Amino acid sequence: MVYVLDGPQDVTLTASASATQVKAGETIVLHAERRVVGKWKQIPRDQLTPGQCWVYTPPPEMEEEVADNVDWDMEPENAIRLDNTFRMDHTRVGTIMMSKGRITLRPLTALKCEKDRVEEGRPIHIDVA
């Protein structure tokens, strides 16, 4: 038996940063929490249609830390250099690269079994002095 998605998923992506007032060269830690609620139907594997998306177990409804598993849309571009090193706590560390102004970070997440659907969370604003 496997699970297939039976309707669109409802997504809430909540992001935060360790600091919202920073100076150039400082590091910040990004956090993101993902809540995805969807209806998954269990079916025999031989009932799958060619190319149909399926999973062995439904994905968790709540993921408390996924900052390393979301994309970050950043304005201005390259204002923060994000470190891609794997962290056990699943946070994302970034170094402030701009000298002054406001940075807007928006988390984006793809959804399992909903091809080409990307959801975005509420933006975080970081002021650089």
- Residue indicated by tokens 């560390």: 93
Query: Tens digits of per-residue pLDDT, 30-54?
Result: 999 999 999 999 999 999 999 999 9
H/E stretch holding 119 reads strand 118-120
* Whether 2 contacts 109, CB under 8 Å: no
Residue 31: which domain range? 2-128
Query: Structural domain tally of the chain?
Result: 1
Q: What is the CATH number of the domain that holds 87?
A: 2.60.40
Please state the pTM of the whole predicted model: 0.90
Three-state DSSP at 34 gives strand
Residues 38 and 81: their CA atoms lie apart, in Å, by 34
Per-residue pLDDT band at 92 (split at 50, 70, 90)? very high
Q: Count Cβ atoms within 10 A of the Cβ of residue 65 and give its class: 0-12 exposed, 13-18 middle, 19 or more buried.
A: middle
